[in-house]
Amino acid sequence: MNGAIYIRTLALALSFANTLQVIILFIQYRVNKTQSGLGWWMLGSALWTLGFAFNYMRSFPALELVGIVGNNASFVSGLVFQYIGILRFFGRRERRWPLIAFCIIVILTAIYSTYISNDRLIRRENISIALAILSFLTAGALFKYNSRFVPASAYFLAVVFLVNGGYFAIRAFAVLAGAPINEIFTDSLTQFSSYVVPLTTGTLWTFGFITIVNQRSNMEVTEAKNRFEQIFNTSPDAVAITRLHDGVIVNINKGFTRLIGFTPEEAIGKSTLDLNVWVNADDRQIFVRELIKNGFCDNYETDLYRKDGSLISGSFSASTINLNGIPHVIVVIRDITESKLAKQNLKTYSERLEEEAEKRAGELRTAQEQLVHQEKLAVMGQLAGGVGHELRNPLSVINSSVYFLKLYQPNADAKVKEYHGIIEQAVRTSEKIISDLLDFARIKSVDREPVPASELIDRTLERFPVPASVDVNVKTAAGLPMIYVDLSQMTQVLGNLIVNAYQAMPNGGQLSLLTCLQDDMIRMTIQDNGEGISPENMKKLFEPLFTTKPRGIGLGLAVSQKLTEANGGRIEVQSEAGRGSSFHLFLPISEEFA
Amino acid sequence: MNQGLHILVVDDDRRMTRTLADILLLSGHIVTEASSAADALEKASTMPFDCVLTDIKMPEMNGVELNRRLLERQPGLPVLLMTAYAADELLHQGLADGAAGVFEKPLDINHLLGFFNSLSEHRTIVIVDDDPLFCQTLDDILVHRGFKVSQISEPQLTDIELVTSGAQMILLDMKLNGFSGLDILRDIRARYPALPVMIVTAYRQDMAEAIQAALEIDAYACLYKPLEIPKLLQLLTKIQLENLRGMLNTQ
């Protein structure tokens, strides 16, 4: 009886001790949310505790059978939960159905052997083998999935389960080997051990659980720290941790040393202002203000001095972080000097490109304008040609009509005769305009031949007689080669230039016609001392339809230039307003003399 | 002797034909107006003209084509072209086809009138032959072909003025009734050294000496009877064209 009381007390003490363990595991479960499996352990421990409570019930005859079944069921499922907890702790998943099936078989066997056959042997074998199997499974899982971070505590736990398994295996074997199956509450060694071992193992594995969790937590912290340091140090960007309130540097990485030039020894403990890295001290203020306001700062661009005084462009990204409760700033500085330079270059380049494009576009516009101008001239020429020809017919009729009137009234009075003259003059002027237009619209075929320059001059002066008020001075160098031109066309050109010169000197003056050899060409200079040409008119001189004369359509020089160029020559002009003009007519010389 | 010409003026611009007609009428010529090439061809086929003055640019058929068709039928008809367009391809074509000349618009009327005067004075081809039948047949043929012809079948040595007046060329038989053609030729040469004279004879052998002498004093050519009419026409056309162009250029 003493023994029974003793065992009962033991069971009670076990329950109590296990309850405490459950509480401990519960606390651990609540605190340590990041690790899985802890809840299962707590449940396992709770069931185990319940098992001891059931054991206690067995000392009361009325509750004995319920106690036995409850104890068995609690122990088996408690150990299953521990097993699941271990698997989950290592990130594994249990195979649910075999475990459930296992539990049901063991519990059903326990119920059968208790209520139906009341076979104590089967009952004891059943529970011992089940617990041994589960202990070995758990130990195996610990050995198998033991991660490298928690070897010591994992081995410890594995050994605890192994021993536990071993104990139950021996118990099962002992029964089979014929060891007496005593009343449960006898104080024989076996009975005693069946209390002490669960108590010991239960305590040990709770201890083991706590250790393994702590060990793993430590591992993870160390790992995280290492990882952080690794990232911190291997980052190609410069990283610094500073105190928020005074900017004192707490740590810098190699990237920082590489970029800014300061070693950790030089930098740590000093503020960035002490190190004089800010080109604009205000930048730090703006940067910190933004950081405080938002808690972070992204790609804030500013210029910095390196240790050697050279300038770099940095892009700052930062966020606040609490280290030991003090707000710090972790700053990442990316060197954007190159990219900024590249950007600048790109900008310059694109500007230059734009400029170039603009220039090209301008050239194109000019060319196009010229083209349009040419086109306009061509159209005008065509139009003028067509219109000119068409005008010649009615002009011819007018001409014939006047002729008829003169013929019909040979003795008409003077007024009528004067009007005949006026009409005839107007017809001649019209015809001249049409001829100019047609000359401009279409160059007749050029019929070039070697001609002495003097012949061109003589013929021209003959066709365009000199007004009395003009004094002409013709000077022709001796021994000149012949020119190679279409004589009638060049007579027209030279005549044009000479008539222009006459008209530039309405009150008389001096006209010089100087001919000499220059650069394998004959140069004829038609020089007047008339009114000269203003600079703005100079530009438009050869433009068609440009004229300063009250009468005339402004094709004379345009036609002259066209004809001269068609003859392989060119016209150049020099003029000074008020002092006269010089037109240089360059003409090709005959090949025979070249 | 200045007799007026019968001139056909062709222009699609009726004001042009009208004013020209009035001027030419006042200058003593007879004018027929035509307003198209077709009109002109029709009129030319029904009456003889001394000269045709046609505009080049006309609808349907142009003046150059008209010139070609006219000369096809009447190689002896002088045709003048008028144009408002200088240096035209058509113009060259017209001249190559045998147009006498080109007048640019507005017309130089004095030049034109001068040309007509020359033409009226030197337009006739004078046939001097004592065979009236020969004269008549040749006359008919040449007139039909657009030439102006006069015939002298009873020549007198003293009539040299009559022979040469208004003549642009003379067809002279070497053996006349009682005269020597050679003597007449000598007379003509003495007064008009440049007047083309073509000698005609039926006696190639007998007259060889005289022919030689005639050619030496610039007889244009010697033709033998029976005349090869196409060859004669060709020759006359050529001589006339030279004459006409000469007249135009001396204006």
Cα gap B202→B184, rounded to integer Å: 18
Answer whether residue A584 shows pLDDT above 80. yes
b (16+ CB within 10 A) / e for A133-172: bbbbbbbbbbeeebeebbeebbbbbbbbbbbbbbbbbbbb
Which of A190-199, A364-373, A496-505, B10-19 has the least mean pLDDT?
A190-199
pLDDT tens per residue across span A455-471: 999 999 888 888 888 88
Interface check A425 vs B, CB under 8 A: no
CB distance B109–A403 less than 8 Å?
yes
Beta strands per DSSP E along A253-361: 296-305, 311-323, 326-335
Contact A555, A464 (CB under 8 A): no
Contact A395 B105 (CB under 8 A): yes
Q: Does A182 touch chain B (CB under 8 A)?
A: no
For tokens 């060694």, what's the residue?
A: A189
Q: Is A383 on the interface with B (CB under 8 A)?
A: no
> Looking at CA atoms only, how far is residue A404 from chain B in angstroms?
5
Angle between helices A64-89 and A189-234 (to 10 degrees): 20
Percent of chain A with pLDDT over 90: 7
Which residues of chain B make contact with A393, given a CB cutoff of 8 A? Answer: 13, 16, 84, 105
Strand order across the B6-10 sheet: B30-34, B6-10, B51-55, B79-83, B101-104
Reported as a pLDDT band with limits 50, 70 and 90, residue A539 is: confident
CB contact under 8 A, A399 and B86: no
Q: What is the pLDDT of residues A46-67, one digit of tens each?
A: 888 888 888 778 777 778 888 8
Report if pTM > 0.80.
no
Q: How far is A392 from chain B (nearest CA, A)?
A: 6
Shortest Cα–Cα distance, A412 to chain B (Å): 16
Query: Do A407 and B26 make contact, defined as CB atoms within 8 angstroms?
Result: yes
**pLDDT of B1 higher than 80:** no
> Stretch A561-570: mean pLDDT, rounded?
89
Whether the predicted pLDDT of A180 surpasses 90: no
Across the range A406-435, mean pLDDT stands at 86
Given a cut of 80, whether residue A72 has pLDDT beyond it is: yes
Using CA coordinates, name the residue in chain B closest to A431: B106
Note whether B127 and B152 are within 8 A (CB). yes
What ipTM describes this predicted complex?
0.71
CA distances (Å), origin A495, targets A444, B87, B103: 18, 22, 25
The strand pairing partners of A300, in sequence order, are A316
Q: What is the pLDDT of residues A300-352, one digit of tens each?
A: 888 888 888 888 888 888 888 887 788 888 888 888 888 878 888 888 888 88
Tell me the pLDDT tens digit for each residue of B135-144: 888 898 898 8
Nearest to A395 among B82, B106, B109 (CB): B106
Interface contacts A/B by beta carbons within 8 Å? 55
| Residue B52 contacts residue B63 (beta carbons within 8 Å) | no
Q: Do B13 and A393 touch (CB under 8 A)?
A: yes
Across the range A248-255, mean pLDDT stands at 86
- From chain B, the residues in CB contact with A399 under 8 A are 106-107, 109
Please count the other Cβ atoms lying within 10 Å of the Cβ belonging to residue B250.
9
CB contact under 8 A, A393 and B107: no
Contact B13 A399 (CB under 8 A): no
Neighbours of A217 (CB within 10 A): 16
Confidence of residue B79 (pLDDT cuts 50, 70, 90): very high
Query: What count of residues does chain A have?
Result: 594
Check whether A185 has a pLDDT greater than 50.
Answer: no
Give the B-side interface with A, CB within 8 Å: 13, 15-16, 19-20, 22-23, 26-27, 82, 84-87, 104-107, 109
Sheet hosting strand A326-335, strand order edge to edge: A249-252, A238-243, A326-335, A311-323, A296-305
pLDDT tens string B15-55: 899 999 999 998 999 999 999 999 999 999 998 899 999 99
Average predicted confidence (pLDDT) for chain A: 82
pLDDT digits (tens, 9 = 90+) for B148-176: 888 887 766 556 777 777 788 888 888 87
pLDDT on residue A322: 82
Which residues from A are below 8 Å from B22, CB to CB? 404, 408
Using an 8 Å CB-CB cutoff, list chain A residues near B109.
Answer: 399-400, 403
Q: pLDDT band at A594, cuts 50/70/90?
A: very low
* DSSP per-residue letters across B107-159: P-HHHHHHHHHHHHHS-EEEEE-S-HHHHHHHHHHHHHTT-EEEEESS--GGG
Partner B contacted by A414 (CB < 8 A): no
Answer yes or no: do A389 and B85 touch at CB < 8 A.
Answer: yes
Single-letter amino acid code for the residue at B151:
Q
How far apart are the C-alpha atoms of B165 and B163, rounded to whole Å? 6
> What is the least distance, in Å, from the CA of A444 to any CA of chain B?
8
Q: In chain A, what residues touch B107 (CB-CB under 8 Å)? A: 396, 399-400
Q: Which of A397, A438, A443, A446 to mutate to test the interface with B (most CBs of B within 10 A)?
A: A397
Point out the residue among B20, B82, B106 whose CB comes nearest to the CB of A427: B106
Which residues in chain A are contacts of B105 at CB distance < 8 A?
392-393, 395-396
A34 touching B (Cβ < 8 Å):
no
pLDDT tens per residue across span B200-249:
888 878 788 888 888 888 888 888 888 888 888 899 999 999 989 988 88
How far does A390 lie from chain B, in Å, by closest CA? 7
What's residue B148's pLDDT? 87
Say whether residue A97 is in contact with chain B using an 8 A CB cutoff: no
> Distance from B27 to chain A by nearest Cα, in Å?
8
- Which residue has 């969790």 as its token pair? A213
d(CA A227, CA A221): 10
Q: Which pLDDT belongs to residue B53?
A: 95
